[in-house]
Structure 1
Amino acid sequence: MVRPLNIAFVHPDLGIGGAERLVVDAAISLQKRGHRVAIYTMHHDISHCFAETRDGTLDVRVGGNWLVPRSIGGRLYILCTILRSLMLARQVANDAEKYDALFVDQLSAPIPLLKYTGAHIFFYCHFPDYLLARRDSLWQKLYRAPFDLLEEFTTGEADEIVVNSRFTQETFRMAFPHLGKIPKVLTPALNFETYDRPVDNDDPLLRALRTQKHIVLSINRFERKKDIALALKAFALCLNEKSKRIAANTCLLVLAGGWDPRVVENTQYLNELDAQAKQLGLCTRTIAPSRASKEARSLLPEGTISAPTVFDDDDDDGDDDASKAEQMALVDVLFLPSFSENQRAFLLSVARCVVYTPTNEHLGIVPLESMYMRVPVVAVNSGGPRETIQHGVTGYLCEPTADEFAAAISKLLSMKDDRWQAMGDAGHDRVKITFGLDSFGAKLEQLIVGMLQRPTRASVVLGVLMTLFIICTVGLTLLLTWWL
């Protein structure tokens, strides 16, 4: 019998991405096992988060965001993020509560300061950050160099390091050769209760999503590294009259994903995708997030509509419901930025297939969600999806080319219902047996208890260096902010 532990999670931005889903599920699993849990984060928008973080299920505490901006003149994101994480670490350390363990993920920079809380540090590495950063110029390489070194040595200060897949484990070993550590693998799980909840069919946000067409669904943040353009190109090939893969106007591509108006790349990439779709001859429409401000809506593609009023008679645009329905029937690609959980549940309940386009994705929670919801997945044959998707059984693994993706999508769209349902059932069974939250929670608890049996030691040198780093860089950041 494990004694109840006091555990805090330290996570940068509590939004609706895969990393956030992991943190929420991990916290819930430990809470269900009798442990006391709190989550510290730098940003928590109740209109853009998972229900468990806003309905009182989890104790969420926000801090570290009052002094340092998210960026300086649209640049220096990593510097500002690290500074904000250090300010958050200061809040954790100053809290009256004493924790047995701290679950830290994504950012390793605050670990040396967090160790002064006396708690053991459990670091969950989704993927080495320095491998995700661009270095297209000498300036970028010089700028990133100290942060890359900082990431490696602060990661090494954790008492336990865990990664999300065997792919990430091997990448970690090659990325951090100086550490000489091989992290353990703890594959994320799904909280089945979340996905078993019935869809609220009275939700007005579902109006524009109801269609007689087959839905091809993509769920990913609007970031260029996710290569959502691959889904567009493949879908355009499917509709190409010469290819004769599927009949025209019988399917709809829904591109849903995390979209934050504060993130420049999110807004730019969504507009780029809309323009690219139109160049491919596809008719597009974007549905604005339900609580988007006027300023946020101005950043969305031209012609964006509001979901609750798509077919409302009281609109003042002069079109009646029949006219609007006809217009929506002509849409080939529907963009759904910052969707709600009910919209996600609805789409996964009606989709014919899910396309997952990132190459060398460290794991990918979307394929697991899709398979559990009995939707076959088409994904790139690399990274984490190779460990979750069974080719030809629960979906298809393809090379990242539009032609291969189009062939797999067409196969699923034209597949007989009994064969398609068999693939969906196989995916559901695989996830239920292999990726359950109970098993995940037991393994996580075991790892944390094992970590607590070993002594923890705070590095005085790194602690002093991090303190100096905070003082110097906060001053520099404020100076640059004023100057720019």
Structure 2
Amino acid sequence: MVCNPLAYDPVTSSHVDQLLTDRKTTLKRWYRFPLDYVEERTTGYANKILVNSHFTAGVVRQTFPSLAKSELEVLYPVANTDSLRLPSAVVDFSDPGAFSNCRQSCRNALPGHIIPKSARFVFVSINRYERKKNLSLALFALSHLFLHWDELVDPDKSGRAKPSDVHLVLAGGYDTRVAENVEYHKELTALADELKIGDHVTFVRSCPSEVKTLLISSSDAVLYTPDKEHFGIVPVEAMFLFRPVIALDSGGPRETVLDGSTGFLCRAEPEARLPGCFAVHLARFLNDPSLVPRMGKMAHLRVVEHFSCNAFRKQLCDIISQLSTPNFQ
């Protein structure tokens, strides 16, 4: 059922094998030619090809011309919800709105250096410290919000909010053995200082899952900055935890985040306008405190209906049943 498992697993991976390497030299191109050919041919022999998003389906068709007219079925991955459990000390499980309203208790449960006590509005970005994750966009967006504060933030609706009330947390995978992680972290801290927002940003490296869960639940919204991400599990995790998502209108988030309902999407082009678009949506959460619980509830329901283990199990069983019918070709 799964196409060419030796090359890639379309249920758990979003990458075609031949897209994971370059062909900058003639020798490399000659070396890859038979491997690419075998991958494409053997993939085509599958009874059913599964991909993790419609975006990935487009990439597969573009990469494998012989599969351009093949039927590719989308089977969305699911978040590991077992790792997204909040401790009872920070959530009153008897309160139906507890998950939407537990931001302050989650902030208090975090190590004191992560979120200042003075922060009223907290935004979180969770991604590996890699340049392709475009984490600098979150910094530029925060800077844009501060530079255009009077234009974007309504003093009455925001409760007389000040820039000092806003804090951004950039958290993600970090390995000292990976040069890019180390270099990019330094670049981002330098950029925050250059933009004069360093006091409003906390960088968290390699936080454990329980801290990640608290961070998401501490936020007013989660920022997701990669462009053309094949799926992107962070938006699904955030929505499961009742938090809206601000992301680019491309790749997986276009399919997981409902613009204006479970979060906000920004057009990826022109790139120069992205910080402004993100800043406008940041300001929405300052100007309308009801957005977090309202959008958070819809976000959680969307995950339960479309990106839960039950939804995955049902679709997978349907696929297996279809494959087992005598007239399936």
In the superposition, the TM-score normalised over structure 1's length comes to: 0.53
Structure 1 CA distance for aligned equivalents of residues 206 and 212 of structure 2 = 10
Name the structure 2 match of 1:366: 234
Partner SS for 2:290: helix
Match of 1:189 in 2: 78
Residue aligned with 1:267, SS: helix
SS in 2 for 1:362: coil
For residue 111 of structure 2, the aligned residue among 203, 206, 227 is: 206
Shift of 1:386: 1.4
- Provide the residue aligned with 1:9 in structure 2: none
In structure 1, distance between residues paired with 2:188 and 2:256: 28
Given candidates 127, 131, 134, the residue that maps to 1:227 is 134
- What does 1:91-130 align with in structure 2 at a 5 Å threshold? 108-109=6-7, 124-130=12-18
Q: Contact 1:238 / 1:244 at 8 angstroms: preserved in 2? A: no
Distance in 2 between residues matched to 1:281 and 1:437, nearest whole Å: 43
- Distance change in 2, residues 1:232/1:351 (3 Å): same
Separation in 2, partners of 1:197, 1:104? 38
C-alpha distance in 1 between matches for 2:312 and 2:226: 25
Residue number in structure 2 paired with 1:414: 287
User: Structure 1 residue 441 and structure 2 residue 316: aligned?
Assistant: no
Change (3 A) 1:172 1:122: closer
SS of 2:250's partner is coil
Deviations 1:146-189 (A, max 9, x none): 46445434544656431111221122122211245332110122
Structure 1: which amino acid aligns with 2:245? V
One of 46, 49, 65 as aligned partner of 1:161? 49
Q: Structure 2: which 5+ residue stretches go unaligned?
A: 91-105, 154-161, 269-273
Partner Cα distance (1:103, 1:276) in 2: 43
Residue from 174, 177, 185 that aligns with 1:262: 177
**How far apart, in 1, do the equivalents of 2:247 and 2:112 lie?**
29
User: 2:302 — aligned with what?
Assistant: 430
- Asked whether the equivalents of residues 244 and 263 of structure 2 are also in contact (C-alpha less than 8 Å), the reply is yes
Report the aligned-residue RMSD: 3.3
More deviation in 193-202 or 405-414? 193-202
Give the C-alpha shift of residue 263 in structure 1.
2.6
Closer/same/farther in 2, CA of residues 122 and 204 from structure 1, 3 Å limit: closer
In the alignment, does 2:318 pair up with 1:403?
Answer: no
* Deviations 1:232-291 (CA, angstroms, capped at 9, x unpaired): 1111111226665452211111111122233332222222222222221222xxxxxxxx
The 3-state SS of whatever aligns with 1:209 is coil
Kindly tell me: are residues 133 and 182 of structure 1, through their superposed partners in 2, closer, same or farther at Cα, counting changes over 3 Å?
farther
Which residue among 172, 180, 187 is the counterpart of 1:272? 187
Distance 1:141 1:229, change over 3 A: farther
CA contact (8 A) 1:123 1:160 kept: no
Task: Measure how far apart 1:145 and its partner are.
Answer: 4.5
Residue 62 of structure 2: aligned partner: 174
CA contact (8 A) 2:84 2:209 kept: no
Q: Deviations over 1:118-161 (max 9, x none)?
A: xxx886551335446567x5579748844644543454465643
Distance 1:139 1:277 in 2: 41
Say whether the 8 Å CA contact 2:84–2:210 is kept in structure 1. no
Q: Distance in 1 between matches of 2:283 and 2:306?
A: 29
> Offset of 1:229 from its aligned partner?
1.1
Q: Could you tell me which residue of structure 1 aligns to residue 249 of structure 2? A: 381
Alpha-carbon distance change, 166 to 241 in structure 1, aligned in 2, over 3 angstroms:
closer
Confirm or deny: 8 A CA contact 1:173 1:182 kept in the other structure.
Answer: no
Give 1:336's match in structure 2, choosing from 204, 212, 218.
204
Q: Which has the higher contact order (CA 8 A, sep 6+)?
A: 2
Q: Judging changes above 3 Å, is the alpha-carbon distance between structure 1 residues 144 and 373 closer, same or farther for their aligned structure 2 residues?
A: farther
Counterparts of 1:433 and 1:383 in 2: how far apart (Å)? 20
| Distance of aligned partners of 1:241 and 1:435 in 2 relative to their CA distance in 1, 3 Å threshold | closer
Matched, 1:282 2:170: no
% identical equivalent positions: 35
Give yes or no for contact 1:102–1:122 (8 Å, CA) kept in 2.
yes
The 2-side partners of 1:407 and 1:196 are apart by 31
Shift of 1:438: 1.6
Q: Specify the alignment match of 1:81 in structure 2.
A: none
User: 165-174 or 238-247: which moved more?
Assistant: 238-247
Query: TM-score, length-normalised on structure 2?
Result: 0.76
Give the direction of change, closer, same or farther, for the CA distance of 1:131–1:244 in structure 2 (3 Å limit): farther
Residues 1:249 and 2:164 aligned together: yes
Shift of 1:430: 1.6
Task: Give 5+ residue unaligned stretches, structure 1.
Answer: 1-100, 112-120, 284-330, 455-484
How far apart are 1:342 and its partner, in Å?
A: 1.0
2:220 is paired with a residue of what secondary structure?
strand
